[in-house]
Amino acid sequence: MKIAITGKGGVGKTTLAGTLARLFAEDGFAVLAIDADPDMNLASAIGIEHPPAPLAEQKKLIEERAGTGMGGVFKLNPKVDDIVERFGVTERGVSMLTMGTVDTGGSGCMCPASSLLRALLRHVLLREESVVIIDMEAGIEHLGRGTARGVDLMIVVVEPGARSIETAARIRKLSREIGIKRLVAVVNRADERSLGIISGRLDELGIAVIGTIPYDAGLVQADINGKAPFDAGCDAVSAIGRVKDAIACGA
């Protein structure tokens, strides 16, 4: 199963991604978590103490596999089938890779590093047999038509606020354009009144809500203490567990 998690920055998608990874691992699944968010906070959300170095910074690897880009020449399909084993780390029952950011010098610009990362994501989504959980950036630019068919489920995390809904609407449009068939929502930090409003707006967008996560001061304390939500025993983990069950049941 391949799950991509996205949403506006700060809505709690990394907390959801990291906790889902731990919950699936606890259930006995082989789990691969990929941090594709420029903020690169997934390791701490999982509880990984020695996170992998960002692949975008592996200059020697990039030159060996994708070329230098001098003269605008590089390989569009570099070898990536050994990268998880070579550059990933495994802790808490979860294997993890960090993509890192690429300074492309302009929107849509291709370079050897971005070629390698796109090829890796394509390989993982189409070939990897683990439960794969990808913590995406606010958009879904990491995905293209060639990789979208490997995504079984995309979750957009939404919180109370117009900008969060606007981001969900943009993701809905982009996901349809590249062929993602299953897009659902998880609502975070919403009370009963705002939950009804948000659910109504999402329903208008054609996005089903598969779970809600209440505000939990324990998440804040866990972050202060440098603990993953799963290890801190936060109440929100139970709610995320219900999200996991909904996913397992084909939500």
Cα 99 to chain centroid distance, Å, stands at: 11
pLDDT at residue number 107: 38
Read off the pLDDT of residues 40-67 as tens digits, 9 standing for 90 and up: 899 999 999 999 999 988 889 988 888 8
Let me know: does 121 contact 34? Beta carbons within 8 Å. Answer: yes
**Residue 167: pLDDT above 50?**
yes
Single-letter amino acid code for the residue at 16: L
Q: What percent of the chain has pLDDT over 70?
A: 92
Number of domains in the chain: 1
**Residue 105: pLDDT above 60?**
no
The domain in which residue 228 lies consists of: 2-248
* Residue 240 confidence class, pLDDT cut points 50, 70, 90: very high
Read off the pLDDT of residues 130-144 as tens digits, 9 standing for 90 and up: 999 999 887 676 677
pLDDT at residue number 126: 85
pTM of the model: 0.91
Q: At what angle do helices 192-205 and 162-178 cross, to 10 degrees?
A: 30
In CATH, what number is assigned to the domain containing residue 175? 3.40.50.300
Let me know: does 243 contact 211? Beta carbons within 8 Å. Answer: yes
Name, in order, each residue with C-beta under 8 angstroms of 43's C-beta and a sequence gap of 6 or more: 35, 51, 52, 96, 98
Single-letter amino acid code for the residue at 46: I
* Average pLDDT of span 189-209: 92
